Structure 1
Amino acid sequence: MRLSWFNITSLTLGFAFLYLPMIILVIYSFNESRLVTVWTGFSTKWYGELLSNQAFLDAAWVTLKVAVFSSTLATVLGTLAAYALVRGARFPGRTLFSGMIYAPLVMPEVITGLSLLLLFIGIGLDRGVLTIVLAHTTFAMCYVSVVVSSRLVSFDQSLEEAALDLGCSPWDAFRLVTLPIIAPAVISGWLLAFTLSLDDLVIASFTTGPSATTLPIKIFSAVRLGVSPEINALSTLMIAVVTLGVIIASLISKRNFVREQQGVAGRH
């Protein structure tokens, strides 16, 4: 397709709208001045200040724990749900089950957070890291299910049937044949759930307690008093972590795609 000036201008404006604010944030994270809008010189002192800020470090540790546990649990449950929906027969209640899985996709986060808060209060569960993990698992599981379902739909089921004919149990066929093939989708679902957990503010604000403050909540509370250079440094580190995760996921997907293509070429 030939690029016209209109297409080039549209792409430039679109990318500038998306990425220019982040680029400015990264640049000003190295600003020597405490005023975030006045450049006075290059300095990395705010990264040092950030590493000595115990409140931010504690919030970052809580956020990392919640993201790892919730994304892992969401990946397991979302993969099983996707397998049941794609491979399962028309079992009674399938429509209801599918609706319950995908409901968080269209449900406002305020409603999800409030309903989970009422649930935790109703069962007498103290709010903390556990409740945030359960809440993040609830809304991240549907995203994992969508990603894995799209891969299972295009999966060649004859490979699994061949494993069953050769004596594998259904569990062994899933573990040895299906899971390695859909692994890129599972990894992508985990990374998506991890990113969503890192970014969540609304649901975490409903389900957190005094002993568990996540990083988005801490940043939001600090910004209300004014943006500090430490927040710019912290945001830059978060952008770097997410970018690194996306690059790793892309490399893994590319490597698996090349391996599949080589396998297809070898069979022919």
Structure 2
Amino acid sequence: MNNGLSRFNVVSLVAGFAFLYLPILLLVIYSFNESRLVTVWSGFSTKWYVELFSNQGLLDAAWVTFRVALISATVATVLGTMAAITLTRHLRFRGRVLFTGMVFAPLVMPEVITGLSLLLLFVAVGLDRGFLTVTLAHITFSMCFVAVVVQSRLLTFDRSLEEAAMDLGATPVRTFFQVTLPVILPAVISGWMLAFTLSLDDLVIASFTSGPGATTLPMKIYSQVRLGVTPEINAVCTILIAVVTTGVIAASLLNKQREVQRARDEQAARKEGG
């Protein structure tokens, strides 16, 4: 019974991962296809990457997407961290329930509703749609994801470290930057990576809030795919996969290095104390 159940679990796991990642693997493989037909393999070639870097429309969309993702992820990380600290450290203040609902509403709100409401807001205030509106929209919906990640780390944070620092004369601001932030930094980095990835991936909200000169790469890809998938699309998607994968691996290695260093510091402190 146990062996049969184990085999069933293994088969289910393999089938699930194959369903998720086999299409991505095929996309990467066919980005090196010689033929223009994306479903017919005719030999290995990198010419579509050369064609991609001569496609000014895709390059402009990629540059817009990268700038939006970088700015929105950075601002969302700052605001999300501040929101997480407020929700964790200040348990009682007037309007806390409303503030909590406003922070986490984008998590459960359909993207169509979020995009439409932001579009109506920008029209109401007379703000022309473009790079700024897309960036503001991405900050709005990605900030809540950062807040969730950082808040989960703050809930297990040892407050005695902050109390010890302030007892030694450190100001609250200095305590945050020298004690609190280094401890929660892996969560902050993870939140930034999540916000950056969500911004790169967004299509629906950007479609509502973008304007002339602010076409993002997902919008460009979607508009071209409607006319048929080309090897250039496979190539640009492969580059996106490589960028995201590299970022995730780098963040994981950084977090692991920090954990190892923290363990060494704790071991050294025990030896000094002993």
* Smaller-chain TM-score bracket: over 0.9
When the two chains are superposed, the root-mean-square deviation of aligned CA atoms in Å is 1.2
Matched, 1:82 2:88: no
TM-score with structure 1 length normalisation? Answer: 0.98
> How many pairs align?
268
Provide the rounded CA distance (Å) in 2 between the counterparts of 1:208 and 1:89.
38
Partner of 1:103: 105
Q: Which amino acid aligns with 2:230?
A: S
- The percentage of counterpart residues that share the same residue type is 69
Name the counterpart of 1:68.
Answer: 70
Question: Which TM-score applies when normalising by structure 2?
Answer: 0.96
User: Which of 252, 255, 266 pairs up with 2:254?
Assistant: 252
The residue that corresponds to 1:197 in the other structure is 199
Per the alignment, residue 178 of structure 2 pairs with 176
Q: Where does structure 1 lack aligned partners over 5 or more consecutive residues?
A: none
Cross-structure match for 1:25: 27
State how 1:117-132 maps to structure 2 within 5 Å: 117-132=119-134
Quick one: distance in 2 between partners of 1:88 and 1:170?
A: 15
Deviations 1:165-202 (A, max 9, x none): 11111111001110111111000000000000000000
Q: Specify the alignment match of 1:264 in structure 2.
A: 266
CA deviation string 1:67-102 (max 9, x = no partner):
000000000000000001101140111111011000
User: What is the 5 A alignment of 1:218-257?
Assistant: 218-257=220-259
Q: What's the offset of the Cα at 1:5?
A: 1.3
- Counterpart in 1 of 2:50? 48
Q: Return the alpha-carbon distance in structure 2 between the equivalents of residues 170 and 26 of structure 1.
A: 50
Find the aligned partners of 1:88 and 1:260 in 2 and give their Cα distance. 28
Q: How far apart are the structure 2 equivalents of 1:228 and 1:197? A: 24
- Name stretches of at least 5 consecutive residues in structure 2 with no aligned partner: none
**2:217 matched to which residue of 1?**
215
Amino acid at match of 1:82: A
Residue identity matched to 2:246: L
Deviation at 1:253, TM superposition (A): 1.1
Matches within 5 A, 1:108-187: 108-187=110-189
